[in-house]
Chain A
Amino acid sequence: MKIAVCGAHKPFMHGGAEMLMSNLVVALEDAGHQAEVIRLPVAWDQTRLFDAALAWRLVPVDADAVIATNFPSYFVRHRNKVVWLLHQHRAAYDAADAAWSDIGYDEASRETQRMLAEWDTRALEEARALFAVSEVVAQRLKRFNGLSSRVLYHPPPLQRQLHPGAFGDYVFAPMRLEQNKRPELAVDALALWEPRVGLVLTGPGSLEAELRASAERRGVAGRLRISGFLNDPAMVETFAGALAVVYAPFDEDYGYVTLQAFLAGKPVITSRDSGGVLEWVEDGVNGFVTDGTAAAIAGAVNRLATEPGLAERMGEAGRARVAALDWADVVGALEGAVG
């Protein structure tokens, strides 16, 4: 079967969505299909928000089936459309009040929100089947659009390469350095946890200079390393050598970092408002669900650094939690849904 995986293309941005689409194509090919990713550029500002959605309605996609992933790719017109939803345009939904959203309370914003919800609902209703990448995404879909979906979990990138290693003297926090990921929490906590434990942030991102300045002010710049983009082998080894992973974004859709940390046998420290991360992290079992304050995160790091065997036990529990994740299950479910 010829299957087109449809997704949005935000120019010069590469993240979890792009990785998911690539890995889904590989999994579909492994199952004997011809598959490829089709992406159209998208703009997220209110003025141009609907342009790409309309473009998806008009472009011909010659394939036996399409699997749409994120806004606005699910506007694609196809008789055999299945949606596996990563996210909608969150700035108009759950994150409408976030600092990075341009949706206000004015008449124009209200109309944008109203119409986007209507367009989204109708485009998603067209699908033969509606899947969501996580419970958080499924709940949002129900709460905002009144639509039911089935949760379909999938393995993160580097699933086969990630491995446990020694518990080193640093906490790893791999993420884009952007507001919604809240990297400042890790830097704030660094100033409060055991001085012998450092912090490795990856990036890149727009907050890098600000984070460096913050570490400088707090006198912890020497314990902070911002590595920038890590290639796959470096990422795997940095996971393997960490004491733990801090990952506390705001209301994450899914959160590969959590799953990757577990595959590397590392406990995850998160926040109670971190969304999809909470579908995996069980407080006191395979990590810590904190109140999201720097003090609580630092407290969790200190416990892992000082209580013998705790990090190992939690890391093993994390590995067990994600052991069953398999792309074959994902492909099987999607295959079953297409006509």
Chain B
Amino acid sequence: MSGAERPVLGVLVAGEPHPNARSLLIELRRWCTPRAADPASVATRAWLALSSRAPGVDVASRSGAPLAVWVDSSVQAEEAARLEPAVLLTGSPALAQRLGAAALLIPAPADLDVAAIPVMPPFVRKRVRRRFGLPEHMVIDLRDGAPHAVAGDTALAVTAAAIVPARRLAGALAWGTPVVTDAESAAGLGARDGAELRVGTPDDLVRIAGDLAADETQAAVLSRAGRRLVEKGREPDRPALEVARRLGLWVPAAPAWRGRVDAELADLRTPARARIRQRLETIMAGVADDAPHGSSRVTDAPSRHLEDSALMGLRAELARTNSSLPEPYAPSAPSLGMRQRVRRIAGRVRRRVRRATRL
């Protein structure tokens, strides 16, 4: 769809807009053309008032076009209510909670692109570990100076549990990793002990991680809830899509089914390289499609972390690291037989690499 065909979203400004509202406007450009406009002289598909007191907001509310109003406080929300808006928008989690279904929380620009990270549920991790000869109850410790401090995303994607410092917490939860951390790091993310992750003191982190690695059910519960926690506020396109829907800006043109299919795939967080997408392309090949795709961004970059080559590398790396693990990690360390097996495999990998390099 060309820019000229996009519906216009009239924007009413009053003062400096909230920074989250700016990121919303950027996201909304995928479905419409936001434009500062005077409701007295311009007809638009919908209106977005960046304040309940923005000039022209009364006229916009009577125009018949759906209106969204940005609010920063309960007082402003009350003021905005008289405008009968389609939706209230706010950057304040507390206010959004108080306003309930009437409001949408528009988060700050994300520090992490969660949509680009595929979830690895604990039972799939277990099968991967089995396939690659990794410890059944594998635990990695990412704290500074800890054995796996520099472990990469592949390790996060397959480990049974991880001890994670604040700097890597959101990323670990995005992968669906069963996580143990300290109270301060958990609080920083709004995560609760036993709900989205486990919290421990420096003395018992390792023990808790070992227990978590052995408890598949608890790991699954935390994995799901942890992922959902970091999704909130880190998928800026999702609230934007909801705003577009509520303002009638997301209306797939004919043929509608293609837009629907893409939207459904996005809703189910289907990676770009998923085979179902390839299959759909085959099925739909040759069908004219000019529908606007209201889909989320998807990238395939993280998938490389789950490829055989990445997992082989991890196995070799862990074989080296785990051989020098201190005693407290014993519950999660591989058995002697497993260590020998991993060393043998790692040796084979090294020999193959050497041979390949010579060639």
Contact = CB atoms under 8 A, between A and B. Distances in A.
State whether these chains interact: yes
Interface stretch (A105-113, A227-235, A315-323): A105-113
Interface in A75-120: 93, 96, 105, 107-108, 110-115, 117-119
Interface residues of A, number: 32
Contacts of B276: 50-51, 54, 115
A95 to B, nearest CB: 12
B121 A117 contact: yes
A306 interface: no
Interface stretch (A62-70, A142-150, A203-211): A142-150
B279 interface: yes
B306 A111 contact: yes
B306 A146 contact: no
Contact of A54 (B128, B221, B261): B261
B264 A142 contact: no
B248 to A, nearest CB: 18
B307 A114 contact: no
A143 B126 CA distance: 12
A108 B221 contact: no
A123 interface: yes
Interface in B100-123: 118-121, 123
Contacts of B275: 47, 108, 111-112
Contacts of A58: 257, 260-261, 264
Interface in B235-287: 257, 260-261, 264-265, 267-271, 274-276, 279-280
Contacts, number: 91
Contact of B268 (A93, A108, A118, A144): A118
Nearest to B303: A111
B224 A115 contact: no
Contacts of B274: 111, 115
A121 interface: yes
A76 B271 CA distance: 21
B92 to A, nearest CB: 25
Contact of B220 (A105, A108, A144): A144
Contacts of A107: 306-308
A57 interface: yes
Contact of A145 (B121, B270, B306, B308): B121
B127 interface: yes
Contact of B118 (A112, A114, A144): A114
B264 A57 contact: yes
B220 A146 contact: yes
Contacts of B128: 110
A114 B308 contact: no
B93 to A, nearest CB: 20
A33 interface: no
A143 B267 contact: no
B257 A143 contact: no
Contacts of B279: 47-48, 50-51
A115 B127 contact: no
A122 interface: yes
A117 B268 CA distance: 11
Contacts of A96: 127
B189 interface: no
Contact of B224 (A57, A93, A108, A146): A146
Interface in A112-157: 112-115, 117-119, 121-123, 139, 142-148
Interface of A: 47-48, 50-51, 54, 57-58, 93, 96, 105, 107-108, 110-115, 117-119, 121-123, 139, 142-148
Interface of B: 118-121, 123-124, 127-128, 130-131, 216-217, 220-225, 257, 260-261, 264-265, 267-271, 274-276, 279-280, 306-308
16 contacts: A50-B276, A58-B264, A105-B130, A110-B128, A111-B274, A114-B120, A114-B306, A115-B270, A115-B271, A118-B269, A119-B270, A139-B217, A143-B220, A145-B224, A146-B221, A147-B224
